[in-house]
Amino acid sequence: MASPALASYFDTSATTPPSEAVLRAMADVQSTAWANPSSLHGPGLAAAEQLERSRQTLAMLLGCDAEELVVTSGGTEAIHLALLGAAARLQPGRVLISAVEHPATQSAAIRLAEKGWDVQTIPVDGQGLLDLNALDDLLTPPTRLVSLIWGQNEVGGLQPIEAVGVRCRAAGVLLHVDAVQVLGHLPFRFRDLPVDLLSGAAHKLQGPRGVGLLLVRAGLPLQGQLGGGGQEGGRRAGTEPVILLAGLAKALELARQLPSTARIRDPLLAQLLSIPGARLSGPSPGPQRLPHHISLLVSGPDGRPLSGRWLVGAMARQGFAISSGSACSSSGSAASPVLLAMGCSEAEASSGVRISLGPWHTPADGMALAAALRRTLDLSRPGPVETTR
């Protein structure tokens, strides 16, 4: 049974607590493999052996070769290394990103623009899914690189990665996929995907913060972005986090053994949509949506959108953790750029909330959350969202 704090924590798309099994695995490694894995003495060799053991475990689980896995400090670094490292080996041209990318990808794209690249945005539909016709029109010279979020963090949409990858391969264009929200929630084999680079992070699947990975297709040139000791085959300098990587390997191993969170998510969503004023944003449950993810637009009794930030605070006062917008965004605007890109008005784009589940949640936890949301909307009558003219 989960602790009361975990039972009411519905913000796993922002981060998850490390599982007890992950903490135990890391403690075991800490006691035996604490040294620098580049050192040639006994403790260093023990750390190097543990590092490669974790790398081999991850490679097996992710369906890639061990040499294709680059250890990073997290998803943001992995995304920057993918875009900047791959682009450094190419002539500047056009790079494509979607209109619903994570701020980390947007930031890396800005860096490329400063280096002479032409950054263009692929539009999405009302569910946040890529416009493939627009992509087809843009997959012509001088396009050389595409970066696409696989599982959208705010509205839960799963982009058609296979269809995009086939198009990119035919056009001779490199494809990077941000799989931070997908890793540990949906199984995949890197060698079976038409993808050149794929980034992920440990803390979204009950692993530790501070470690992530970038999968790089064998033979693809990648320029490291950090100078130093030349670790990770010269692709990422810095002493490898042996203990953290062991935690990531254990977390992914455990995630593959868990049943889909959709078994809890789907009945919870039905309860939430029965609340007046709550409607789904993003795709319906199924193959186009992350299995642990719910996103809502919330309106008051008069039909006007309510503030998502207000609702997050009101739910927090009842002990429930949900979110509004991206946890990684520092934007001062209440309106979500993702929802705006999907065609929402500014008021609607300020009314979004996200509910994301963990493997510890039970149907009773979902019922308690739905009851709290209904109570909040019934008892409170805040004013409508103010928009800027």
- Please state, in angstroms and rounded to a whole number, the distance separating the CA atoms of residues 247 and 131: 37
- On whether the CB atoms of residues 301 and 276 are closer than 8 A, the answer is yes
Per-residue burial over 278-300, b if 16 or more Cβ lie within 10 Å, else e, is bebbbbebeebbbbbbbbbbbbb
Categorize the per-residue pLDDT at 378 as very low, low, confident or very high, splitting at 50, 70 and 90: confident
352/337 Cα distance (integer angstroms): 11
Distances (CA, A) of 200 to 123, 180, 264, 381: 24, 4, 24, 40
Percent with pLDDT over 90 in the chain: 90
Q: How many CA atoms lie within 13 A of 296 on its CB side?
A: 29
Concatenating the DSSP letter of every residue in 282-349 gives SSPSSTTB-TTEEEEEEB-TTSPBPPHHHHHHHHHHTT-B-BSS-TT---S-SS-HHHHHTT--HHHH
Tell me: the pLDDT tens digits for 11-62?
999 999 999 999 999 999 999 999 999 999 999 999 999 999 999 999 999 9
Q: Are 341 and 385 in contact (CB under 8 A)?
A: no
pLDDT of residue 4: 75
Which residue, 10, 21, 99, 17, is CA-closest to 256?
Answer: 21
Quick check: 130 and 160 in contact, CB under 8 A? Answer: yes
pTM: 0.94
Residue 167: how many CB atoms within 10 A of its CB?
A: 18
**One-letter amino acid of 41:** H
Per-residue pLDDT tens digits for 267-325: 999 999 999 999 999 999 999 999 999 999 999 888 899 999 999 999 999 999 999 97
How far apart are the C-alpha atoms of 152 and 185, rounded to whole Å?
A: 13
Give the rounded distance of the alpha carbon of 103 from its chain centre. 11
The answer to whether residue 151 scores a pLDDT higher than 70 is: yes
Quick check: 225 pLDDT over 60?
A: yes
> What residues have CB less than 8 Å from 133, skipping those under 6 apart?
none
Q: Is 234 left (phi over 0), alpha (psi -120 to 50) or beta?
A: left
pLDDT (0 to 100) of residue 381: 53
Domains of the chain are 4-16+260-379 (3.90.1150.10)
SS3 label, residue 379: helix
Estimate to the nearest angstrom the gap between the alpha carbon of 271 and the chain centroid: 26
328: annotated active-site residue: yes
- Number of separate helices (H) and strands (E) present in the chain: 13, 10
Round the CA-based radius of gyration of the chain to a whole number and report it: 21
Residue 388 has pLDDT above 50, yes or no: no
Q: Report which secondary-structure segment, H or E, holds 372.
A: helix 363-379
Alpha-helical runs (H) found in 88-229: 103-114, 132-138, 161-171
Give the residue, 384 or 226, on which the prediction is more confident.
226
Residue of 15, 44, 344 lying closest to 336 (CA atoms)? 344
pLDDT tens-digit readout, 235-251: 999 999 999 999 999 99
Q: What single DSSP character describes residue 228?
A: S
Q: Would you state the pLDDT for residue 301?
A: 85
